[in-house]
Amino acid sequence: VISAKKLRDYPEGPAETAKIANVLLKDDRTGQYVIAQEAWDCIWEELIQNGKGLKTVYDRPGFNEMDYNFSAEMLEEMITELDRLITKYGGSDWNTKDTANRIVALLVEHRTLITTELNEVNTGVRQLTDKDFLGPKERQLRRALKLEENSENEFDAVQEQKDYSGYFNALEKKLTAKKRSKMRQLAGKQVDEEIAVNASA
């Protein structure tokens, strides 16, 4: 059982490389093709440290594993599955086999890392974004918060709109008063004209 993570790890990488080489060395089909043990560390240095092997996701410009986060519910599901596997392969049916013990050791180590990540998410040390790996509960919560935020913003925008009703009410009163004044003037003029006509008759 080989750990790809340990293979890329600088302190543990050479030892993981030696495990691979020893498996190949002991296999009748491949043993004769394995290079001398003295060169194993050199191979690891060239491939991992100097990056002369095939390109992987780790070779992407700007790639950083910490840039990708998981929501709490997804991390909790991972821990649940790891607990199941650790219990299974750590049980009496398997714990006498070296491969099972190796799997358990790797899974326990991985569970510790995920538990740490879960604590960081729950305490806010790791800030989740919409681009992270979010579970359905987290996505639903974010949608609800956005809807609530948009509703509050719309309400605030309505509240912030200036009230011009007073101006228009005053303008309407002014125009009405002006119209009435003009009508009174016309009426007075007509009365004066009628008086003049009657006087001349």
Q: Please, what sign has the CA dihedral across residues 88, 90, 96, 100?
A: positive
Residue 185's pLDDT is what? 72
Per-residue pLDDT of the chain (201 residues; tens, 9 = 90+): 888 888 888 889 899 999 999 999 999 999 999 999 999 999 889 888 888 877 776 777 776 666 789 999 999 999 999 999 999 999 999 999 999 999 999 999 999 999 999 999 999 999 998 889 999 999 998 889 888 887 766 655 555 556 666 766 777 778 777 777 777 777 667 656 666 665 665
**Residue appearing with tokens 């899974």:** 107
Residue 53's pLDDT is what? 75
H or E stretch covering 170: helix 165-200
Residue 154's pLDDT is what? 62
Residue 67's pLDDT is what? 73
Residue 101's pLDDT is what? 95
Cβ-contact 17, 42 below 8 angstroms: no
State the pTM of this model: 0.64
3-state secondary structure 55-116: CCHHHCCCCCHHHCCECHHHHHHHHHHHHHHHHHHCCCCCCCCHHHHHHHHHHHHHHHHHHH
